Amino acid sequence: MATTGIQARFACSVGAFTLNVDLDLPGSGLTALFGHSGCGKTTLLRCMAGLQAADGVMRVNGDEWQSESEGASKSSSRPVHKRPLAYVFQETSLFPHLSVKRNLMYGYRRIPQSERQVSFDKAVEWLGLPHLLERMPEKLSGGERQRVAIARALLTSPKLLLLDEPLSALDHNSKQEIMPYLEALRDNLAIPMLYVSHSTAEVARLADHIVMMDKGRVVAQGPLQQIMARTDQPFGLEEDAGVIIDATLSERDERWHLWRADFAGGHLWLRADRGLAIGQHIRLQVLARDISLALSKQTDQSIQNLLPATVDEVAPEVSPGTSMVRLLAGRTPFLSRLTTRSVHTLAIEPGQQVWMQVKSVAIVD
Can you list the domains of the chain with their CATH numbers? Answer: 6-228 (3.40.50.300), 240-363 (2.40.50.100)
- Give residue 2's pLDDT: 61
C-alpha–C-alpha distance, residues 314 and 325, integer Å: 5
Sign of CA dihedral 32, 36, 40, 42: positive
Cβ neighbors of 122 (< 8 A, separation 6 or more) are: none
When comparing pLDDT for 331 and 236, which is higher? Answer: 331
CA nearest to 191, candidates 167, 155, 164: 155
Cβ neighbors of 81 (< 8 A, separation 6 or more) are: none
C-alpha–C-alpha distance, residues 265 and 249, integer Å: 14
Torsion of CA 253, 293, 234, 236, to 10 degrees: 100
| DSSP tag of 36 | S
Mean pLDDT, residues 293-310: 93
pLDDT of 124 above 90:
yes
Mean pLDDT, rounded, of the chain: 90
Mean pLDDT, residues 19-37: 93
When comparing pLDDT for 235 and 172, which is higher? Answer: 172
Least confidently predicted of 120-124, 213-217, 231-235: 231-235
Read off the pTM: 0.86
- Give residue 273's pLDDT: 73
If phi > 0 it is left, if psi is from -120 to 50 it is alpha, else beta; for residue 206 that is: alpha
C-alpha–C-alpha distance, residues 83 and 161, integer Å: 11
- Give residue 236's pLDDT: 55
C-alpha–C-alpha distance, residues 132 and 126, integer Å: 13
CA nearest to 123, candidates 32, 36, 189, 214: 189
What's the pLDDT band for 72 if we cut at 50, 70, 90? very low
pLDDT of 274 above 80:
no
